[in-house]
């Protein structure tokens, strides 16, 4: 049985998507066993960006690399590896992945995920990823939460799948997700407030002023610490997410990576009717210049993202 219902997937991309789903289902099983299996949240070293690597970061990376090699993928770029890996000579596609997103939540049973972005392989390894976000042919995330979910786009809307525990295969739950225009919630790591730029501070203060303020309505606040969990909530019921640039050393371009996190999530959000920017410019109009570069990231309900752009003047 295929790991995902093939009915709504372009045939030429099916082997890659099937491999991502097969590996995702295995990772989901390992996460579900948690400490019964191994210490998934144990620190095991640092990645090329100096971020601490957890055991599950490395395990998931190895599993996706092996799965994609089996699916004939040409190049694999991972948040956990410094360089692009050349997998299968003559392969058609290049896949970038954040094998395990939200790693600070591994040990506390909060939703974590895998994020991926697919391009047609270009002449060489780096050129296959250092290109406009609009050249993605597919993107998605797998959320390891109460349900194991997959959100997926090929540029014709954003689809939602659920891993059916009875069949072990991803079944279509929604052919076209629709991100609500208006928002009732916003998300930002408020512990960084003293480091924010004036436009970001103004937006948050507008929300905090609520019905008594210029906005004239209350906005609730959420911060999970897992980009996949925040994105899924926003795709489902609207809202805004900001990981902006701030004054902390090393955070001049925010925290999230353009190739592995920002570009694929922007594709999914836009295809569901939302907006995604770096504060002013649409992410899909931007080009990655370095493999592990970070970009400020703002996305969600159209009205809110337009307001944030306005505040950035
Ligand atoms: P990784 O776990 O893949 O490094 O992802 C980064 C991330 O955990 C996002 O999932 C999340 O949105 C953000 O960082 C949380 O950042 P902070 O710890 O600064 O709140």
83 domain-assigned: yes
Residue with CA closest to ligand 1 atom 8: 102
Please tell me the total count of domains within the chain. 2
Q: What is the pLDDT of residues 126-178, one digit of tens each?
A: 999 999 999 999 999 999 999 999 999 999 999 999 999 999 999 999 999 99
Domain holding 125, by residue range, is 6-174
Helices (H), 3-45: 14-33
Q: Specify if 56 maps to a domain.
A: yes
Q: Please tell me the distance from the alpha carbon of residue 17 to that of residue 7, in angstroms, as a whole number.
A: 12
Binding residues for Mg(2+): 79, 98, 100-101, 261
Residue 139 is assigned to a structural domain of this protein: yes
Residue 180 lies in a domain: no
Distance 279 CA to ligand 1 centre (A): 18
User: pTM for the full model?
Assistant: 0.98
Q: How many CA atoms lie within 13 A of 306 on its CB side?
A: 7
Mean pLDDT of 180-199: 97
Q: Is the pLDDT of residue 61 over 90?
A: yes
pLDDT tens readout for residues 74-83: 999 999 999 9
Residues for the chain: how many in total? 313
Three-state secondary-structure class, residue 220: strand
Residue with tokens 């649409």: 282
Residue at a domain's end among 174, 203, 236: 174
Give the Å distance between the CA of 100 and the centre of ligand 1.
10
- Are 203 and 308 spatial neighbours (Cβ–Cβ below 8 Å)? yes
Q: Answer yes or no: do 32 and 170 share one domain.
A: yes
Residue 269 parent element (H or E): helix 263-271
User: Residues with beta carbon inside 6 Å of ligand 1?
Assistant: 51, 98, 101-104, 189, 225-227, 255
30 and 152 co-located in one domain: yes
For residues 134 and 280, give the distance between their C-alpha atoms in angstroms, rounded to a whole number: 17
Residue 251 belongs to domain with CATH number = 3.40.190.80
Residue 45, pLDDT score: 86
Residue 129 neighbours by CB distance under 10 Å: 24
Pair 14, 161 in one domain: yes
Residues 164, 205, single domain; the answer is: no
Ligand 1 mean position, distance from CA 73 (Å): 27
In a domain, 276, yes or no: yes
Q: Using one digit for the tens of pLDDT, what is the confidence trace for 1-53? A: 789 999 999 999 999 999 999 999 999 999 999 999 888 999 998 877 777 89
In a domain, 179, yes or no: no
CATH number at residue 57: 3.30.540.10
- 66 in the same domain as 163: yes
If you take atom 15 of ligand 1, which residue's CA is the nearest one?
225
56 and 156 fall within a common domain: yes
For atom 13 of ligand 1, which residue has the closest CA? 225
Per-residue CA distances from 253 to 249, 250, 292, 297 (Å): 10, 8, 12, 9
Element spanning 263, H or E: helix 263-271
Same domain, 43 and 163: yes
Domain boundary (174, 204, 224) is at 174
**Is 59 in the same domain as 208?**
no
The answer to whether residues 169 and 265 belong to one domain is no
């Amino acid at each position: 049985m295929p790991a995902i219902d093939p009915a709504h997937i372009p045939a030429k991309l099916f082997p890659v998507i099937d491999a991502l789903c097969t590996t995702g289902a295995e990772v989901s099983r390992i996460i579900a066993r948690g400490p019964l299996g191994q210490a998934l949240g144990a620190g095991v070293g640092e990645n090329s960006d100096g971020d601490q690597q957890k055991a599950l970061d490395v395990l998931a990376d190895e599993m996706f690399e092996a799965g994609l090699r089996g699916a004939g993928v040409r190049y694999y770029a991972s948040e956990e590896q410094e360089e692009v890996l050349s997998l299968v000579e003559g392969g058609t596609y290049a896949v970038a992945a954040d094998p395990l997103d939200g790693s600070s939540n591994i040990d506390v049973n909060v939703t974590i995920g895998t994020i991926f972005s697919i391009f047609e392989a270009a002449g060489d390894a780096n050129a296959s990823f250092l290109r406009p976000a609009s050249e993605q042919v597919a993107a998605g995330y797998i959320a390891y939460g109460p349900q194991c979910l997959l959100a997926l786009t090929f540029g014709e809307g954003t689809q939602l799948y659920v891993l059916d525990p009875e069949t072990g295969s991803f079944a279509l739950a929604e052919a076209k997700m629709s991100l609500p225009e208006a928002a009732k919630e916003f998300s930002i790591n408020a512990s960084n407030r003293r480091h924010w730029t004036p436009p970001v501070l103004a937006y948050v203060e507008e929300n905090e002023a609520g019905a008594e303020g210029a906005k004239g309505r209350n906005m609730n606040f959420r911060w999970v610490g897992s980009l996949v969990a925040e994105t899924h909530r926003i795709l489902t019921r609207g809202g805004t997410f900001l990981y902006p640039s701030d004054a902390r050393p090393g955070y001049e371009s925010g925290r999230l990576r353009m190739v592995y996190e920002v570009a694929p999530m922007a594709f999914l959000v836009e295809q569901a009717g939302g907006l995604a920017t770096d504060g002013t410019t649409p992410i899909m109009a931007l080009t990655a210049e370095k493999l592990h570069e970070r970009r400020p990231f703002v996305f969600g309900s159209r009205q809110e993202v337009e307001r944030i752009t306005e505040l950035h003047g």
